Amino acid sequence: MDKKRDQRAAIMSRLIIIVEGDTEKEFVNTILIPFLNAKKFYNIECFKIKHSKGGLSKYEHIRKDILKSVYEADALVTTLVDFYALPTDFPKFEESKQCTNKEQQLTFLERAIKEDIEANQNTAFDNLVPYIQLHEFEALIFSSKLGIESLFAPTEANFVELHKTIQKYPNPEDINDHPNTAPSKRLLKLIKGYNKVVDGVLILDEIGLEVIREKCPRFNNWLSSLEERLGI
């Protein structure tokens, strides 16, 4: 990419967010887009992976959606998918296991996605910012106990266990990816009849994006990178 092209790519006038499922899409539409609108950025498109059946099952599925979007003029293209249950066919997935911690592993995988797309098209895509949430999008809900406490009665949610989890994990993104204790699995046990799409986004809206960003550094870094690239 020559210097003039790199300068043109520095600030984008559009944002395309490719998400894994309904919960992430609802979060973007209900919370993230209004946040960006308040910063006077309005040209935003969010869509769910075309071949999603409630989640991401193959790398090829999101790869196709990235390729369909990344040539859009003046558009910054990003993703919002979970590390939890991430398909093992992602580029350099096995190699990523050699990283010393999960945060480094995700950075390695995000870079591998970009490299794969660029190698496939033999073109540099400065407008592509892959993002994988550590460990799971629902981790953001554990940013504050106030979100669940304000929406549910003690008979509907286990506040004691909620407080223990939040105290154990000052950074909610550290909550592990075990099938029994991943953030989404914990929420199913904590809240009676928990609906991840409806309840999850209501809780996050109650907590507020400012608190979430303060408690979840990797998520905050992603949003900060988008703000910088969009010039807002």
Residues 148 and 124 placed together within one structural domain of the fold: no
Q: What pLDDT was estimated at residue 218?
A: 98
Residues 31 and 93 placed together within one structural domain of the fold: yes
Residues 142 and 221 placed together within one structural domain of the fold: no
What whole-number distance in Å separates Cα of residue 42 and Cα of residue 91? 33
Q: What pLDDT was estimated at residue 10?
A: 67
What whole-number distance in Å separates Cα of residue 72 and Cα of residue 16? 9
Residues 62 and 117 placed together within one structural domain of the fold: yes
pLDDT digits (tens, 9 = 90+) for 95-150: 999 999 999 999 999 999 999 999 999 999 999 999 999 999 999 999 999 999 99
Residues 128 and 41 placed together within one structural domain of the fold: yes
Give the global pTM.
0.93
Residues 53 and 129 placed together within one structural domain of the fold: yes
Residues 41 and 117 placed together within one structural domain of the fold: yes
C-alpha distance from residue 3 to each of 76, 92, 114, 127, 200 (Å): 18, 30, 20, 15, 44
Q: What pLDDT was estimated at residue 213?
A: 98
Q: Give me the domain span that covers residue 220.
A: 3-135+216-230
Strands (E), 131-230: 132-133
What whole-number distance in Å separates Cα of residue 9 and Cα of residue 229? 9
Q: What pLDDT was estimated at residue 7?
A: 39
Q: What pLDDT was estimated at residue 5?
A: 41
Instruction: Decide if 54 contacts 25 (C-beta within 8 A).
Output: no
What whole-number distance in Å separates Cα of residue 147 and Cα of residue 116? 39
The low-confidence residues of the chain, meaning pLDDT below 70, are: 1-10, 52-54
Tokens of 164: 């223990």
Residues 26 and 103 placed together within one structural domain of the fold: yes
User: Under DSSP, is residue 87 helix (H, G, I), strand (E, B) or coil?
Assistant: coil
Residues 22 and 34 placed together within one structural domain of the fold: yes
